[in-house]
Structures are given as C-alpha cells and as structure tokens.
Amino acid sequence: MITLESDGQLKELINENQTILLFSADWCPDCRVIEPVLPDIEERFKEWTFVYVDRDQFIHVCGEHDVFGIPSFVAFQKGEEVGRFVSKDRKTQEEIESFISNIKS
C-alpha cells in the first residue's frame, strides 16, 4: 500500500493506474479492524494500486471526493471514478472484496 504524500502524487496515481484510494485515519477504530486483512486484499487484486489517504492530512481530498465517513474506498481508472464504497460503517473483508470484484473495467 502506498501512503499518499502529496496532491501531485495523487493526481499522477489516479490518472496513470487502476487505483483504489483508502480513506482512513490513525484514530479510527473501524479502520484498525480492517488493517490486518488489507495485505490479503492487495494480494488478491494485484491489478489495483492501493493508496492510503490520511483523512486528517488530506481533508481537502476527502471533500473533493465527497468522502465524509471512514474507512471508505474510491476506485479510479484512467482518471475517472469507477466505483465507491463510502460510508462511516465498519467494513468486512468480504464486503471490500465484493466491492472491488464488482468494479466495471
């Protein structure tokens, strides 16, 4: 998982790759629950680049993408949003994998 470091990096990742943004924060208990399964998810979906977006550091990015609850996922292909799993609810590995599997390529 890549940790987002700048707006320029975000633009590059979204435009050049199949990218899934994971909006999260260190203080979020539901975000910590899914952390142990993220490596398995990344392994299963190697065609995607996963990017950790710290909600507190990149609050403007959350606003730009209408992400008001975490953990949340937004998927992009060639600069276009192709899927979102956005809410404040806790998410299971099965729900996350189902979301990714159902993204239209």
- Name the active-site residue from 4, 22, 28, 51: 28
- Name the active-site residue from 4, 10, 31, 61: 31
Instruction: Please indicate whether residue 31 is annotated as part of the active site.
Output: yes
Tell me, what amino acid is at 71? P
HEC string of the chain equals: CEECCCHHHHHHHHHHCEEEEEEECCCCHHHHHHHHHHHHHHHHCCCCEEEEEECCCCHHHHHHCCCCCCCEEEEEECCEEEEEECCCCCCCHHHHHHHHHCCCC
Instruction: Please indicate whether residue 62 is annotated as part of the active site.
Output: no
Could you give the residue numbers annotated as active site?
28, 31
